[in-house]
Structure 1
Amino acid sequence: MSAQPSRSSAARPRTNEAQPRINAAITTVGHFLPDERLTNADLEKMVDTSDEWIRTRTGIRERRILRDEDKATSDMAAGAAKEILEKRGIGPEEIDAIIVATVTPDMLFPATACLVQNKIGATNAWGFDLSAACSGFLFALTTGSQLIESGRYEKVMVIGADKMSSIVDYTDRTTCILFGDGAAGVLLEPSEEHGLVDAVQHVDGEHGDLLCMKGGGSLNPPTHQTVDAKMHYIHQDGRPVFRHAVTAMADVCVEVMERNDLTGDDVDFLVPHQANLRIIDATAKRMGLTSDKVMINIDRYGNTTAATIPLCLYDWEDELSKGDNIVLTAFGGGFTWGATYLTWAYGE
């Protein structure tokens, strides 16, 4: 006995007309920041450093710290998700998928996305975590966009969230000055007019040992020895990381611009990962952008890893207009790096 076609497939009209392209557009931005501020003056009392040294070399004045021991990355991510729902005026049951970019999950499993799904009541959503260090949000944005472009999903949350204070050694003056805690994210929805246009991503595992956390995984599971050796804190070899970041971020942005016939005049905003002001300036210069086109908030938040790019989008949201050409770029441990070109979907 042959199977009968479903009612929906039988009723679907046949046509040879080309279907419009489905783009994944950002329709809302939300964020969460802890209240506590850790200033450069505070760090002067903790390690051998100074406000002047930190500001001139990184551009950072202060960063946010989630001090509550009962709160973790999922709490910040859920806070950003709830703001997205409120601003968009939708219920959590409308969310189809949640992607959380993080290197500081609450635990190895379950995924932080599962915890966020529960905390916001997104009963119809599935999700997962994506680990790509400071490039995490950029990689997750591409992944979420592909879910939308497939035509199977209508509303996908992409959140970057990290509690970096949980893996920072506050006796190491080379790293503790850099990082802060925070979360921000976007809602992706289908659009025939605006959205993600192009993305280029790279990894290079050869240099993974220059920026990493050596302990906690299957290679070096937690032991008294790994804890005593401080293997569960961030390890960074600053100078080679800086050199690679300057070159990689600038090169990949130029690559995206050339692929899409963009000049510096065509780009309305650059949204760079907020790791170091000198890296940001070098990238903008290579792209031919004036300073007023570059989103910078590193002075207030430091490096929040996967949260830096969406935090910039949140802070600049009111200045963005529908149709703006925006380039996002990041570089992180792995090494991971990339650039994304999108057109903004809302605003005056």
Structure 2
Amino acid sequence: MYIHAVSHYLPTQVVGNEHFTQLNGLSSDWIIERTGILERRKAAPGENTNTMTIEVVKRLMEKTDLTTVDLIVGGTYTPYDTIVSIAHEAQHFLGIADIPTISISTACSSLLNAIEVVEGYFALNKATRALVIVSEHNTLYYNEKDTISGHLWGDGAAALLITKERQNEKDFDVKALITGGAAHTSKATTGVMMKPADGGVTMPHGRDVFINACQYMPKASLQVLEQCGLTLADVDYVLPHQANLRISRNVMNTLGLPEEKLISNIQYYGNTGCAGCAIALSEKWDTFKKGEHIVITVFGGGYSYGAMLVEV
């Protein structure tokens, strides 16, 4: 399984920390110290997960042919429409008939679960060219006056063309992929929640989210390396879920890897949910060198987690 091309889309509106200083008294230094976030992107009026999906698919079309896609998988926990999913929106835009079209949600882990769905279709010979879209409109659901989590969120989307067979030498080879759920832990179902009819995004147990994210992302990263017979010495970059820069640094410290190997964009985009890792991968795509190994690891509410090892 290969990642052939990636694209991303970010809304143009930039919301700096000074907005929250004026809104609820949180200083920029306080936000940066606890999250690493300097600014984030916010969808404009009329933008939503479905419109961002169309924009990111258009950008992917500039890089590769999507006319022969035979599977579409969308991932989001912030849907604009709970019936017409981002996957259906993409299929409608592309005008491709009679192909599997699926939308999933495992919170911020949805990117890797979507790719795992693709892996299953490929294994069963039910598809060979899959379009994966991850799109999040966090600012539709959040309460920006919430001093616990209101300043964390940003909006954005990404799209990937994943193929069963290699298309060219620049494709990224997916060497291993694992996902899991840790909902058996005591605060998993209340650590972070999004209830549109009951307060939007809430994070009553942020400390528990932090602890579990710092535990499961390194654990999953080591598991995918072991599956491939590789060690931490073989890792060139780690791309963790863009939730909190302190979490990312903790993951690197647990793995014993230098911060130079950390890929992070939360400083400028905030927590863009399941789209964050794919946005960062798209931004860095042309800078990676042949033979490099990248570990992408995620953690989401619920709790969900996973890791994927790719080789350039």
Same fold (TM over 0.5): yes
Is 1:311 the counterpart of 2:279? The answer is: yes
Pick closer, same or farther for the CA change 1:82–1:123 going to 2, 3 Å: farther
Structure 1 position 236, deviation (Å): 4.2
The equivalent residue for 1:57 is 34
Structure 1 stretches of 5 or more lacking a match?
1-23, 217-221
CA contact (8 A) 2:5 2:161 kept: yes
Give the letter for the 2:290 counterpart: K
1:12 maps to none
Corresponding residue for residue 116 of structure 1: 90
Return the match for 2:11 from 21, 34, 47: 34
8 Å contact from structure 1 (residues 169, 233) kept in 2:
yes
2:221 is equivalent to residue 245 of structure 1: no
Alpha-carbon separation, structure 2, partners of 1:236 and 1:79: 34
How many Å separate the matches in 2 of 1:234 and 1:108? 20
Shift of 1:188: 0.3
C-alpha distance after superposition, 1:139-180 (max 9, x if no partner): 111212332343332320111110000110011011111110
The equivalent position to 1:129 in structure 2, one of 103, 117, 135, is 103
1:87 equivalent in structure 2: 63
1:124 to partner: Cα distance: 5.3
Deviation at 1:252, TM superposition (A): 1.6
TM, length-normalised to structure 1: 0.83
Q: Which stretch has the larger CA shift, 153-162 or 305-314?
A: 153-162
* 1-structure distance, mates of 2:302, 2:163: 30
Say whether the 8 Å CA contact 2:43–2:155 is kept in structure 1. Answer: yes
How does 1:137-176 map onto structure 2 within 5 Å? Answer: 137-176=111-150
With normalisation by structure 2, the TM-score equals: 0.92
2:253 maps to 1:285: yes
Is 1:44 the equivalent of 2:21? yes
| Cα displacement string for residues 275-301 of structure 1 (whole angstroms, at most 9, x for unaligned residues) | 111111121222232222211111010
1:67 and 2:44 aligned: yes
- The DSSP-based 3-state class of the residue aligned with 2:103 is strand
Tell me how far 1:333 sits from its aligned partner. 0.4
Are the equivalent residues in 2 in contact too, given 1:198–1:342 (CA < 8 A)?
yes
Report matched runs for 1:183-262 at 5 Å.
183-191=157-165, 195-206=173-184, 207-213=188-194, 215-216=195-196, 222=197, 226=198, 230=199, 232-262=200-230
Unaligned stretches of 5+ in structure 2? none
CA contact (8 A) 2:239 2:296 kept: yes
Q: For residue 51 of structure 1, what is the amino acid of its counterpart?
A: S
CA contact (8 A) 1:245 1:279 kept: yes
Structure whose alpha-carbon radius of gyration is higher: 1
Structure 2 Cα separation of the partners of residues 187 and 333 of structure 1: 26
Secondary structure of the structure 1 residue equivalent to 2:164:
strand
Secondary structure of the residue that 2:147 maps to in structure 1? coil
Task: Work out whether residues 94 and 124 of structure 1, in 8 Å CA contact, stay in contact via their aligned partners in 2.
Answer: no
2:192–2:201 CA contact under 8 A, matched in 1: no
Residues 247 and 65 of structure 1: CA distance in aligned 2, closer, same or farther (over 3 Å): same
Q: Indicate the SS of the match to 1:209.
A: coil
2:86/2:133 contact within 8 Å kept: no
| Partner SS state of residue 243, structure 1 | helix
- Give the total of aligned pairs: 305
Q: Which amino acid is 2:103 matched to?
A: D
- Alignment root-mean-square deviation, CA: 1.8
Q: CA deviation at 1:196?
A: 1.7
Q: In structure 2, give the amino acid aligned to 1:30.
A: S
Residues 324/150 of structure 1: CA separation in 2 closer, same or farther (3 Å cut) = farther
3-state SS of paired residue (2:277): helix
Paired amino acid for 1:233: V
Distance 1:325 1:149 in 2: 23
Shift of the 112–320 alpha-carbon distance from structure 1 to 2, 3 Å rule, reads same
Q: Which residue of 1 aligns with 2:236?
A: 268
1:175-224 residue CA offsets vs partner (Å, 9 max, x unmatched): 111110000121101236962221221112241121112x35xxxxx5xx
Q: Would the aligned equivalents of 1:167 and 1:234 in 2 still touch at CA under 8 Å?
A: no
> Structure 2 counterpart of 1:254, which letter?
L
TM-superposed CA distance for 1:255, in Å, is 2.2
Deviation per CA, 1:82-135, whole angstroms, max 9, x where unpaired? 1111111x2x43221211110011122122211222134344543111101111
In 1: Cα distance, 2:88 partner to 2:165 partner: 27
